[in-house]
Structure formats: C-alpha cells, structure tokens
Amino acid sequence: MPNAMPISSNKDKEREFVFTGADFNKIREFVKQETGITLSDAKKNLVYSRLSRRLRQLKMDSFKQYFTLVQQPKSPELIDFINAITTNLTSFFREKHHFDFLTETAIPSILKANAETRKVRVWSAGCSTGEEPYSIAITLRNAIPDIDSWDVKILATDLDTNVLAHAERGVYDYERIDGLDGKIVNKWFMRGQGEHAQSVKVSSQLRNMITFRQLNLMGQWPIKGPLDFMFCRNVVIYFDKATQRVLFDRYANLLRANGHIFLGHSETMFKVSDRFKLLGNTIYQRVK
C-alpha cells in the first residue's frame, strides 16, 4: 500500500464505529480496483455514513470485519457495497441545453445520415434512477414524428443495481415532475390512484424504447455500436485522468463519425482526449 497521510478528525471519536485513515485507504483502493472510481480525502465522512448503515444491517462491530466480508471471492456483499458507495443525483431534463441541442441539431442530422437504415442507437451511461434516459426518449419522440417506423433503441446502464431497479419500474414521486411542461406531463406520465395518488408512472411507449442493464465501465461492454449519441454526465468526474483517457477512447470507438457525447457541467476533455471537439456547453462531437 502506498504511504499516505493519516486522515482523522474530532468526529472520529464520536462515531458509532471506529473508522481510521487506514480503513478509509483500504476501502478507496478497493473501490478504485473494482470500479475505477477515485475517492478523495473529502469523501471519508460520506463513505463512513453510507457503509455504517451496512454494518448495522449486518450486525457487525467493525469496518475491518465488514471489509473482510466484501473482499471474499464472489462475496454476496460486493453489490451492496458498490451500491452504497455510488452517488446518484439526477432529474428530468437536467441541463436543458443538452436536450435543446438534440432537438435542434443532433436529431435532424441523425435522421438524414440514417435515412436508409432508419436506426437510432443511444447510450445513457450512468443513468441513475432513469430520469435521463426517459428524458432522451421523450425528446426523440417529440422530434421524430414518424418514430414508430424507425428502429430506435436506448441502452441505459449504471453500476448501482438499486437505482436501475427504480429506473426500470418507471415510477416516481409526483414532486419529481413538478415544474415540467404540462404538455409533457399529460402525454408521458400517468398519475396513480388512491394511495398511489402522489406518484406517477412513465408511459409504456417510453419504457419500451429503453433497455436497462447493470454495467461496470471498467469491464467488458456488451455494446456493438455505432452509437448516434451518448450521455455520460457526472460519471468521468469520479475517475482519474488516466482512466478518463481510456474511457473517452472507448467511447469514440463506439460512436459513429460526427456522433455526439454529452458530459456533466463540471467535466471536460481538455488535455484528456483529442478524438472529440468541443461544440460548447459540455457538448462534444467525435472527430477521429
């Protein structure tokens, strides 16, 4: 293990479980090995908070005992461990300018380029609880009048199996769509009845366009391509530069010539990849 400065605070003494700098270093090295995600020192309290819930549920006394369980070959706890570490934050039509670009620029270009095959292929990488791929599906349906005569498929993947299950159900608290345009709500969401009156379900027309799959970006990808565009927002920010270079190269290999990739508002390819050009507002186009 590389040398590291001890990470401690006065809060450590107040915690239910002992969580030392050595404990945190072991965990973040294992997280990097399994997922490629880099946890900074600032994530120590978040890791403690999320994993301490697992210790309580498993009736364990220490992080050492828990980590021993996680490291076992084919450990049944590994998925819950990864789910606990993964951060998920999303909303419908988050970063609206991306969807405006799809409607005004990307989709018209795709329709011309794919006039013979009449296929559209999309990947939402790091889809979380599903708001992103459903927003993509709505945008495609609104922008392609004869979409039912096209072969349109959206692949939505995430590392966290819990959020994927939520996404596949397509059921959300009503407050999640509060603020959306009334026409979108009326056309693509169904309000629950009785005790479910405060929830909505996404239209089956949208759900049928999307395939949800668990995927570790550090592993094999069951994707052939070519993709017309992909969303990978607030995902690569968790990886170091070396891992980002590998990922962007793999993404470029999957995208068709001039295909687009959408990143999160704090992400960039500057000095990481020369296979894309920045069009503005975290929208990139493949050039190599």
The catalytic residues are: 50, 158
63-35-216-201 Cα dihedral, nearest 10 degrees? 60
Closest Cα to residue 178, out of 200, 197, 193, 195? 200
Q: Are 55 and 66 in contact (CB under 8 A)?
A: yes
Look up residue 197 and give its two tokens. 């009156």
Q: Are 275 and 252 in contact (CB under 8 A)?
A: yes
Query: Residue 49's CB: how many other CB atoms inside 10 A?
Result: 12
Closest Cα to residue 228, out of 126, 52, 102? 102
Classify residue 42 as exposed, middle or buried by CB count within 10 Å of its CB (0-12, 13-18, 19+): exposed
